[in-house]
Structure 1
Amino acid sequence: MMQTLAAGLALFALFVRESLGCPGGCICTMRYSAPAANCAYGSFQLVPVGLPSNLSSLTLSANAITFLQSSSFEEVPHVSSLWLAHNEIESIQRGTFAVLAELKSLDLSHNHVRNFPWEDLASLTILIYLKIDNNWLTSLPRDAFSGLKSLRSLHINNNRLTTIFKGTFDSLDLLSNLQIHDNQFNCTCPLQWLKEWAANTKISIAEQDSIVCFSPKPLQGIPFGKTPKLQCSPPYVKISYHPTTELQEDHRLMLHCNVTGSPCPNIKWKIQATKTEICDFTPDGEYQKWDLTRSPNSHKLDSYLVFPNRTLVITHVRRGAEGLYTCVATNDLGTGEDSVEVSITSSLNAQHFGVRVHRSNATRELQHGKVIVLSPPGEGIGRNRGDTALKAPAWFWIFTILIFRL
């Protein structure tokens, strides 16, 4: 009797599996009146084919899957729960999850994912539960979760993230649980916002004592919430120039880029006259000259001198040097820039020329081939955010002039 019953049950299970189109190695059942496939603890290296098209839940945890293709889940577009934890997934093609518009739960934890197709999340508008913890993620786009209006639980802990951009969680209105601990956070200015945000948010942030600094070295191992407040500011730029009042053609013009900001900004000069960037400065004062475009009207590279203190010298101001000279400074908090214009201006006597250096709001007066800049030196049209910049000291200009006169 018992043998007959067991045989009947086996036949019934086989019938259910076949009727649901269940591939070998998977157990297909009806769960809460919806078809579900459990393919966990197998030896799958790829997502199996032949799954029921109306599948609602798919479990592929604890297999040997290493790669997800964009077509991996095309057969099961109605899946609402997808479990992929404890595989060996390293690569995920763009579009892999975009076809799963009904997905509510996604678990990719405990894999080797380095690059996640964040743009796929834009299609998962009803996703509630997202686990990508215990992977190898190194970066997180600012808008990664911008489309997840229904998300309530987010786990990105135990990765290799060095920073999280301000505003990353702003669109997650329903988020109630967040896990970001055990990453490799660089506790510098770009991450300062997170300290204040974590202290004031109503979202439950798990294991806050494990949100520790990986760098810089003096803060290594210190919980992020206990780090000292850093003085951070975006770049502020002002160009000062010499001479400041009048200049004749073929004279020497010195432009100095005065910059403040923390962390120390990267700086470059952009010259509209030659449609190029003449040099890049690193925060420690090193710089690299860029080759200028060679054309009959271009100003030759040897007509410019560049110094580690960010001073640009036009050795002979002539027609080829006309244009807008802009100093651009950039750090992790933003960009600042300031510009001056250099141009040759004819006087009433056509045989004489003058050189004009000005800002857009400077009042200028032409006198016998010269243009006098009436605005205070160093004040002008810079587009900046930050603290007041320091101007080049007077001794610098005297020292530079003496060098050129030798």
Structure 2
Amino acid sequence: MHILSRLTFTSGCPSKCICASDLLSCTKVSLTNVPENLPATSASMDLSHNSIASLRDDWLANIPHLHILRLSHNRLKSLSVGAFRNATELRHLDLSSNHLQTVQMEFFQTLFRLEELLLYNNFITYVEEMAFNRLANIRKIYLSWNNLTSFAFSSMQNLTNPHLRTLDLSSNKFAELPVEEVSSLPAFIKNGLYLHNNPLTCNCALFMLLSHWEHRGFSSVLEFSQEHTCLYMGKRRAVVRILKSQSGFDNCSVGLGQHIPDPGLKVLVGKRLMVTCNTSLPQENTTFLWISPAYDFIFPPGNSNQSFKIHPNGTLEIHKAQPWNSGVYLCIAVNRRLSYNATHEVNITVHFPKPEESFNTGLTTLLGCVVSLVLVFIYLYMTPCRCFRCCLKPPQTPSPPQESSAQSSILCGTPPATEGPNSRKAGASRHVVFLEPIKEGRVEKHPKILQLRTDSDSASSVFSDIPIVQT
């Protein structure tokens, strides 16, 4: 007790906490907020088993050497963008057994050295697609015992420096599994991808996937073979052990030794693509070489025009994919210390956006302008006769004009001309006459005449009896 009191009241150590050298322990002391004036020398900090509900921004700004931070068994519901902004040296972060609901990329974007992230036993329902892509050194991510129904497996392909060896998604609420996305993951991720204890619906694709992993000896399947279950016909009472029984997979014809090819990768034109050399060789003492579809050899660090780059772990980066980059790429990994080499093929397809994706606002605006111009021309030159009966009646002696009709125009078609010395010849044309507005009770001497060229055989006979307007 005497020793505890001496440690408790050490200079610079928060009340109720224990400080020893570079260690700070504040467990089970009923904290509701993070203590003020934390020791700057702390390398390991334990604030677990308290009632902390939030973390203020930049609260770790004065602790530059913090490597381990434990915040499990608290009441954290969400994290602010600046909660871990200054923890650039953090290696281990434990946020398990809290009330977190989402995981966003902004939470961990500055944790470049983080190796272990514990998020299990929360209420997480959504993980942002790029949430872990800034974690350049991450090795283990634990997301088990949450409420996840989906996960962006494809985002694991584009890790900047993929050291990930454990991705625990067990004991969630996955009903369906995107087999194609999961199959395309690197072998070192699939070896530590834990998917057991999920209410997956039984299907042949799932059976083939796990059978293939069992045949390859992946730890994630071998260590939890009993817990890999599925629901037959989606019924919760019909639980089937996938790897121990053929019940529910009677129509699935796959042998344990059958190879399931990994699907190819697809990328849009102009986008970056990271292609993993999916071999079981360790990164240490291993050299990598890629061969393009054009049979060009790509040596580290890449080609001369920097369109291809080979990372130290063998990942091939295509800077801006072009259509001619499509095809089968071959990775050759050689480990001289083990006297062993391995190869891996990847089929890459570079495609353009779908028509609906490329139909942008500018094109829509241009099309709208064109349509508007067409409608204007139609209105100006093809306006129907406002007084159709008047057009069909023979000309009569004009009566004094009315004020209301003096401002209107009349559109009439000319019929075939009658024979006569002053008559017009009937041809393959029709004439449309626009009369100027009537002014002061008489017709202007020079009406405007517009000639429309149409096929005489297909011209409408509606205006065939309308007399020519003489000027």
Using the size of structure 2 for normalisation, the TM-score is 0.43
* More strand, by proportion: 1
Greater RCO between the two (CA within 8 Å, min separation 6)?
1
